[in-house]
Amino acid sequence: MSRIGKNPVELPSGVTASMTGQQVEIKGPKGSLTFTSSHDVTIKVEGQSVTFKPRGHSKQSRQSWGLSRAMVANCVEGVTQGFRKELQITGVGYRAQLNGKTLTLSLGLSHEVKFDERDGLTMTVPSPTRIVIEGADKQKVGQLAADIRASRPPEPYKGKGICYVGEDISRKVGKKK
pLDDT of residue 162: 96
Query: Is the residue at 65 inside a domain?
Result: yes
pLDDT of 43 above 90:
yes
Residue 91 lies in a domain: yes
How many other C-beta atoms lie within 10 A of the C-beta of residue 115? Answer: 19
Average pLDDT over residues 87-111: 94
pLDDT above 90: residue 137: yes
The model's confidence at residue 174, banded by pLDDT at 50, 70 and 90, is confident
If one counts the domains in the chain, the total is 2
What is the C-alpha to C-alpha distance for residues 28 and 6, in angstroms, rounded to an integer?
Answer: 24
**Where does the pLDDT of residue 148 fall: very low under 50, low under 70, confident under 90, or very high at 90 and above?**
very high
**Which ranges of the chain would DSSP assign to H, the alpha helix?**
59-80, 138-150
69 contacts 85 by C-beta, under 8 angstroms: no
For the cut 90, the answer to whether the pLDDT of residue 96 exceeds it is: yes
Of 61, 80, 99, the position where a domain reaches its end is: 80
> Does 176 reside within a domain?
no
Determine if residue 82 is left, alpha or beta; phi over 0 gives left, psi from -120 to 50 gives alpha, anything else beta. left
Establish if 171 belongs to a structural domain: no
Same-domain check for residues 87 and 75: no
Pair (136, 158) in one structural domain = yes
Percentage of residues in the chain having pLDDT higher than 90: 83
What pTM, to 2 d.p., does this model score? 0.89
Domain that holds residue 33: 9-80
